[in-house]
Amino acid sequence: MPAHHEARRRRLATALSEAELDAVLVTHLLNVRYLSGFTGSAGALLVFAGGDAVIATDRRYEIQVVQESPDVEAIISREENDVLTQRARERGAARLGFEDLHISVADWSKLSELEASVDAQWHPVLDRLDGLRRVKDEVEIKALRRACQISNDALEAVYTRIQPGVTELDVARWIDDALRDGTPEGPGFDTIVAAGEWGAVPHHQPSGYVIAAGDFVTIDFGAKVDGYHADMARTLLVGGEPNEWQKTLYDLVQTAQAAGLDALSPTASPQEVDRAARQPIEDAGMGEYFSHGLGHGVGLQIHEAPFLGASSTDKLDVGVPVTVEPGIYVPGQGGVRIEDTVVVHEDHVERLTTFTRDLLTVG
Ligand code: ZN
Ligand code: ZN
């Protein structure tokens, strides 16, 4: 494991040199984890332009930090930013980067005070650190594959239990239990179950609504493995045959998703991919009901770069996992969403969530 963290710190070191920084103070805990392996709830990491690093955390994590980050010197202190800034100055580092996207006003005010007392200058690193996480290494893709497999298995285990008379909350609980059976981290985010008219609310929280025959039920969920998030969604039909509007919506979303997946490649722009999926829905006059972007990157965060949307300026690449999740939401009627997590490779797109995309009738 440490070899991967060291490789990531070397990539950061290159970015630091390009920005003419001597070191960077990493305060965002996800970035601390990404660069060192440390998973505690308090701590900061100082990475030098040479790629070596020092971590600071408090006494609660004295044992854990040595286990998780054996190749990084650990300092035990509650004043993480202070001790690491002092350490930077002892090493002669004067041009210091800080995570302007992830720091509170209070912490920034303390760092500013240090600037004068230790004679260093702070420089914002902008999105350089988060940008490092866009392309995933093999260890990360392996964790995502596993998280997606567990998610897929959870839906396979649960979907036949959905029938008229059960509630959205029942379905959410079954999914969450199945995810916990698969991974100690369980669900990576709050499971969405939206049935009947609630299907028109993309992020509806599961309620006591009793599912009836003829309802569409959208389930959006994902397991977490080693901090990495799976994300998938399916819409199922409960009981009987789909009526006309249900058939139309489902076919359109399925067509849109296939178009989005086809458009994905390492060199495609996220705007183009979004456009490819949106076109068939707009052509059918339902563009206004597809009210969100086509997808997003997944990793240590459930939503992270690159974002697939009409105004996205992000980039795809080899080794970038993204979701492809078109949806149509008609107020007063219901909705359909089909979402998969995939990885963009050099010459193909690998689907990590493989549950059927054809309309399934249950109950
Ligand atoms: Zn989702
Ligand atoms: Zn998603």
Question: CA 187 to CA 182: how far, in whole Å?
Answer: 10
Query: Looking at the structure, do residues 110 and 205 belong to the same domain, yes or no?
Result: no
- Residues with Cβ within 8 Å of residue 112, at least 6 apart in sequence: 122
How many Å lie between the centroid of ligand 2 and the Cα of residue 293? 10
Q: Which residues of 174-212 are buried (b: 16+ CB within 10 A; e: fewer)?
A: bbbebbeebbebbbbeebbbbbbbbbbebebebeebebe
pLDDT given at position 32 = 97
Considering only CA atoms, which of 304, 299, 325, 293 is closest in space to residue 218?
A: 325
Q: How many domains in the chain?
A: 2
Query: Looking at the structure, do residues 244 and 297 belong to the same domain, yes or no?
Result: yes
How many Å lie between the centroid of ligand 2 and the Cα of residue 117? 45
- Residues with Cβ within 8 Å of residue 26, at least 6 apart in sequence: 32, 35, 44, 45, 46, 47, 99, 129
Which of residues 105, 132, 159 is at a domain's end? 132
**Are the C-beta atoms of residues 134 and 306 closer than 8 Å to each other?**
yes
Query: Looking at the structure, do residues 14 and 106 belong to the same domain, yes or no?
Result: yes
Question: Taking the model in full, what pTM does it have?
Answer: 0.94
Give the amino acid at 87. Answer: R
Query: Looking at the structure, do residues 46 and 88 belong to the same domain, yes or no?
Result: yes
How many Å lie between the centroid of ligand 1 and the Cα of residue 281? 19
How many Å lie between the centroid of ligand 2 and the Cα of residue 294? 9
**pLDDT tens, residue by residue, 134-185:** 999 999 999 999 999 999 999 999 999 999 999 999 999 999 999 999 999 9
pLDDT given at position 1 = 54
Query: Looking at the structure, do residues 189 and 334 belong to the same domain, yes or no?
Result: yes
- Helix, strand or coil for residue 182? helix
* β-strand pairing of 53-57 with 44-48: antiparallel
pLDDT given at position 260 = 98
Question: CA 246 to CA 44: how far, in whole Å?
Answer: 51
How many Å lie between the centroid of ligand 2 and the Cα of residue 220? 8
- Helix, strand or coil for residue 271? helix
Q: Which ligand is nearest to the CA of 303?
A: 2
In this structure, what is the dihedral angle of CA atoms 243, 246, 252, 256, given to the nearest 10 degrees? Answer: -150
**Are the C-beta atoms of residues 97 and 25 closer than 8 Å to each other?**
yes
**Cβ-based neighbour number of residue 70 at 10 Å:** 12
How many Å lie between the centroid of ligand 2 and the Cα of residue 354? 15
- The encoded tokens of residue 13 equal 């070191």
Query: Looking at the structure, do residues 337 and 210 belong to the same domain, yes or no?
Result: yes
The single-letter DSSP state of residue 156 is H
How many Å lie between the centroid of ligand 1 and the Cα of residue 262? 20
Query: Looking at the structure, do residues 169 and 123 belong to the same domain, yes or no?
Result: no
CATH number of the domain encompassing residue 89? 3.40.350.10
Largest CA distance in the chain: 73
How many Å lie between the centroid of ligand 2 and the Cα of residue 98? 29
- The encoded tokens of residue 291 equal 């009210």
How many Å lie between the centroid of ligand 2 and the Cα of residue 38? 26
Q: How many CA atoms lie within 13 A of 355 on its CB side?
A: 28
pLDDT given at position 129 = 87
DSSP per-residue letters across 290-305: --S-SEEE-SSSSSEE
Which of residues 132, 147, 176 is at a domain's end? 132
The sheet with strand 73-76 has its strands ordered as 73-76, 53-57, 44-48, 23-26, 95-98, 121-124
- Residues with Cβ within 8 Å of residue 20, at least 6 apart in sequence: 95
How many Å lie between the centroid of ligand 2 and the Cα of residue 60? 34
Q: Which ligand is nearest to the CA of 189?
A: 1
Question: CA 8 to CA 24: how far, in whole Å?
Answer: 14
Range of the structural domain that residue 340 is part of = 138-362
Listed as ranges, residues in the chain with pLDDT below 70 are 1
How many Å lie between the centroid of ligand 2 and the Cα of residue 166? 25
Q: Which ligand is nearest to the CA of 322?
A: 2
Which of residues 132, 151, 175 is at a domain's end? 132
